[in-house]
């Protein structure tokens, strides 16, 4: 079934930060139905960034950014540090988190991460970046799910790992 058959021609998924946090992530965390199954669940720690485009396709749209939900994985069962390592490398936070406001209310935060090949604290910086959005409300307890967007910053999108 093509879930996108009821989106009229010419419409493309170009959501704002506010829509991602306040509609898609909020509904996901509240286990509410999302109109269109446009954002997949992905285990971020089992997938390399260059494989996301295959998993996160939206209809037949040409994309340079990929959207997915990811459940937070703890580095240690009792700790609060988040494990963001894959087989080939790891995601490392960069810069400051950006607050997301809707009508002057803080609804979420956006963290920027860069993918490094190899193992921390070494590793080679790649062109893959990710934004990780989290809710800033404890309406449903501490949310263990975040919404991520990933993109390759090369002038042309990589189509394979090679």
What 3-state class would DSSP assign to 19?
A: helix
Give the C-alpha separation, 112 to 91, whole Å.
9
In 101-118, which positions are buried (b, 16+ CB within 10 angstroms) versus exposed (e)?
ebeeeebbbbbbbbbbbe
**Judged by CB, which is closer to its own copies: 62, or 161?**
62
Decide: 71 and 144 in contact? Cβ < 8 Å: yes
Report the nearest approach of its own copies to the CB of residue 82 (Å): 26
Which of 36, 106, 120, 153 is the binder for its own copies (CB under 8 A)? 36
Tokens 């540090």 belong to residue: 81
Instruction: Pull the structure tokens for residue 127.
Output: 């062109």
Ramachandran region of residue 59, left (φ > 0), alpha (ψ -120 to 50) or beta? left
Report the nearest approach of its own copies to the CB of residue 8 (Å): 4
63 binds its own copies (CB under 8 A): no
Report the nearest approach of its own copies to the CB of residue 2 (Å): 14
Which of positions 5-34 make contact with its own copies (CB under 8 A)? Answer: 6-16, 19-20, 23-24, 34
Residue 147 main-chain phi, psi, to 5 deg: -110, 130
**Judged by CB, which is closer to its own copies: 20, or 47?**
20
**Judged by CB, which is closer to its own copies: 41, or 43?**
41
Q: Which residues bind its own copies (CB under 8 A)?
A: 6-16, 19-20, 23-24, 34-36, 38
């Amino acid at each position: 079934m093509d879930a996108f058959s009821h989106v009229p021609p010419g419409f493309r998924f170009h959501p704002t930060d506010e829509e991602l946090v306040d509609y898609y992530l909020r509904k996901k965390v509240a286990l509410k139905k999302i109109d269109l199954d446009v954002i997949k669940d992905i285990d971020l720690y089992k997938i390399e960034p260059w494989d996301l485009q295959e998993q996160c396709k939206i209809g037949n749209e040409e994309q340079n950014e990929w959207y997915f939900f990811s459940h937070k994985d703890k580095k240690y069962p009792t700790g609060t540090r988040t494990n963001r390592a894959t087989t080939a490398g790891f995601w490392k936070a960069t810069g400051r988190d950006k607050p997301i406001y809707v009508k002057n209310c803080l609804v979420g935060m956006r963290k920027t991460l860069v993918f490094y090949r190899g193992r921390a604290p070494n590793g080679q910086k790649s062109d893959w970046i990710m934004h990780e959005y989290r809710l800033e409300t404890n309406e449903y307890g501490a949310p263990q799910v975040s919404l991520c967007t990933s993109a390759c910053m090369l002038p042309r999108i990589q189509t394979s790992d090679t």
